[in-house]
Structure 1
Amino acid sequence: MSPLPGRSGICACGEISEVTRGSWEEALSGLARQHSGVSYVELSDVSFVDVAGVTALAVTAMGLTEGRVVVQHPPPQLPRVLEMFWPDLPQIEVVRR
């Protein structure tokens, strides 16, 4: 996990799973603290996100008082899980690969 240069957001790489969940949730907490309007989550270098990782993202987005989180280039399972459990979550915008 690392901050995105030049804009509000984070960049992740590898897999988001039980092994990396602590880092993921910590990065999302930091994103929420610094959020103002639009925050970005760049996932083009992420090969897998488990359901708990998607849940952490959804819970973070739902906790924002304003704006949205733009998830860029996620692995295919992330949009599917969002559509299955949070089909009408306006706080998340997904920009597919």
Structure 2
Amino acid sequence: MGGSAPAESGRAALEVSLLRGRAGIRARGEINGVTRPSWEQALSELARRHAGVSYVELSDVAFVDVAGVTALAVTAMNLPDGRVVVENPPPQLPRVLEMFWPGLDRIEVAL
């Protein structure tokens, strides 16, 4: 995951790259059944590199399905310490987190 790792099928695509200057990833596109393997791989890499606080920048993500939010929540819950700060997510992400993981303090959503 050095540069970007596109996953495509038809019009659904996801591109994930490392953030510059801080620990984390930036995603662009959609997180759905087609792109989920790339999303989960990026989250695995994020967890491997995690050191206290990791950032997930989602301002260029148009949609994330429930399974994509689940992968994020499970990744955060399995971190040994610290938290994941999710920046500028699509509107459904905070709603799904609140619905299924209310009070999950390992994820901070920054709108």
Q: TM-score, normalised by structure 1?
A: 0.98
Query: Does 2:108 match 1:93?
Result: yes
Larger RCO: Structure 1 or Structure 2 (Cα < 8 Å, ≥ 6 residues apart)? 1
Q: Secondary structure at the match of 2:33?
A: coil
Provide structure 1 residue ranges, at least 5 long, that are not aligned to the other structure: none
Aligned to 1:39: 54
Select the structure that is richer in helix: 1
The unaligned stretches of length 5 or more in structure 2 are 1-15
The CA distance in 2 between the partners of 1:77 and 1:33, in whole Å, is 26
Match of 2:86 among 38, 62, 71: 71
User: How far apart, CA to CA, are the structure 1 residues paired with 2:29 and 2:79?
Assistant: 26
Query: Secondary structure of 2:80's match?
Result: coil
Please provide the CA RMSD for this pair. Answer: 0.4
Is residue 9 of structure 1 aligned with residue 24 of structure 2?
yes
Name the structure 2 match of 1:56. 71
Paired position in structure 2 for 1:84: 99
Measured after TM superposition, the shift of residue 4 of structure 1 is 0.4
After the TM superposition, which segments of 4 or more aligned residues of structure 1 sit over 2 Å from their partners?
none
Q: Deviations over 1:35-59 (max 9, x none)?
A: 0000000000001000000000000
Question: Residues of 2 paired with 1:5 and 1:23: CA distance?
Answer: 20
Who wins on radius of gyration, i.e. which is larger?
A: 2
> Once the two structures are aligned, what percentage of the paired residues are identical?
75
What SS does structure 2 have at the residue aligned with 1:74? coil
Aligned to 1:23: 38
User: Which secondary structure does the structure 1 equivalent of 2:57 belong to?
Assistant: strand
Q: Using the TM superposition, give the Cα deviation of residue 5 of structure 1 relative to its aligned residue in structure 2, in angstroms.
A: 0.7
Look up the equivalent residue of 1:77 and give its one-letter code: Q
